[in-house]
Every structure is written in structure tokens, then in C-alpha cells.
Structure 1
């Protein structure tokens, strides 16, 4: 049985595979180019910063919020997509529609639903 961290990694892989057909791959995007060209230490640092930013945003969700898990997963999904596709999309309203579409599709898939639940458990209980 995969750990919650394993489930999060699997979700990232699923997100990447689902997005590949939707994202125009005419050339390396800003995030992909910088990650590919950056030294391993810099990539690790960027991932650490990403994790810290996700944690900070999740901690801002009220613990008694009935939608806490779904909101935490949304933050995770947005952050991962921005990291891989480029932060310039943060100002594009179509990006948030894409996130809605991806999240809806993932939540409607029973197999992914189990992985999402494990990721939510990890995201909402991990010490920050």
C-alpha cells in the first residue's frame, strides 16, 4: 500500500499525464526550461519553497472549515500546475478554469479519488 507521500507523487504523475495533451508543447515553458537547466540543488530548493508555500496556504484554511480537504487539494493542484507550467499563468483566468476542469475530472474518477483522499489526509495533517 503506498504511503500518503507516495500517493501525492502518484497524483503529480497523473496530473502531468492528463495535462500533456492540453498544454501546447511548442517549446519549453518558463518553468520547464528553468527546471531542466537548473542544477539539482536549485531544483531541490525550488521544490522545498513550493512545499513551504503550499503548507502556508493550507494552514490559512480554518480547521473547522467543512471544505478544508477540498480546498487543500485545490491549493496543491494550483501550486503544482503553476510550478510546472509557469507562474505567469497565475494572472490568466483560463488557468483557474483549467484547474476546475482537472480537479473535477480527478474527483470523478474512483481510483484517483482514493489517491486524492490520501493526499488530502497528508496535506491537512503534515506538520508545517
Structure 2
């Protein structure tokens, strides 16, 4: 998946702002990617694996599925959140409720909704 979405960092920032109150209330600490002590190449490799995983999961969605765009964005959102908050949340049902809440909030906000639409367009048209 090409990394040409210019607004990915904006989306991640928006996601973090949505999550901050929830994380504080639950007493959890968000996992932050550590730039210190990680070679640049290792970071690129991690990003490439993440992009590849997202791309494979999106490719598994039927092209004629009327919810394809929304499902693709959910895959992106889950993957980014797990990457930033920690893979240990993958088996936590509350994580998926959080993803539902964040996605709903983002889609209902005019400004964020526009970014979501751009991300969906990119995710569903990017060559795999």
C-alpha cells in the first residue's frame, strides 16, 4: 500500500485526541512507538509490514461489497490503533467497541469525515 495519504498523520492525531480521554479514564497508558534506539531501517520495515497487512486485509473484502469503503477504513483504523496502543489489545473486546466509537465519531464529524472519505478513496483504489 503506497504511503501517499498525506493526511495519515492528521488521522492518527485525530484518533489519539479521541482516545486520550478514554485511555486516561481506564488507567491504561498508550504505547508510544519509540524512536530512540530503533534504527531507521527497522521503523521502515515495521511500517512496510503494517501497510502490507492492511493491504492484504482490504484485498479480502469483496469488490462489490456495498460496505467495502467503511470496512477498509475500519481495517486501517484497527491496524493503526493496535500499532500505537499495543498489539496486546487484539483480544480485548473493549478494544473493538472503542474502534466502533472512534470510527462513528470520526464519520459524524464534518472535518474528520472528509479525511475519512479521502482515506477510503485511497485505501480502496491503491494498487495492491
Give TM-score, length-normalised by structure 1: 0.86
CA drift of 1:13 comes to: 1.9
C-alpha separation in 2, matches of 1:26 and 1:37:
24
1:67–1:127 CA distance, 2 compared to 1 (3 A):
same
CA drift of 1:27 comes to: 5.5
- Gapped runs of 5+ residues in structure 2? none
Pair 1:67 & 2:72 matched: no
Between 91-100 and 40-49, the greater mean CA deviation after superposition: 40-49
C-alpha separation in 1, matches of 2:111 and 2:39:
35
Q: How far does the alpha carbon of each residue in 1:77-108 deviate from its partner, in whole angstroms, 9 at most, with x for none?
A: 00000001111100000000000010011011
Q: How far does the alpha carbon of each residue in 1:23-69 deviate from its partner, in whole angstroms, 9 at most, with x for none?
A: 2476563xx26555422211111011000000000000000000000
Please identify runs of 4+ aligned residues in structure 1 that moved more than 3 A: 24-29, 33-37
Q: Quick check: 2:23–2:30 contact (8 Å CA) kept in 1?
A: no
1:119–1:54 CA distance, 2 compared to 1 (3 A):
same
Pair 1:52 & 2:27 matched: no
**Other structure's SS at 1:84 match:** helix
Pair 1:38 & 2:38 matched: yes
Q: Quick check: 2:30–2:86 contact (8 Å CA) kept in 1?
A: no
CA drift of 1:119 comes to: 0.3
CA drift of 1:17 comes to: 2.3
1:116–1:70 CA distance, 2 compared to 1 (3 A):
same
Give TM-score, length-normalised by structure 2: 0.86
1:26–1:109 CA distance, 2 compared to 1 (3 A):
closer
Q: How many residues align?
A: 123
Q: 2:9 aligns to what?
A: 9
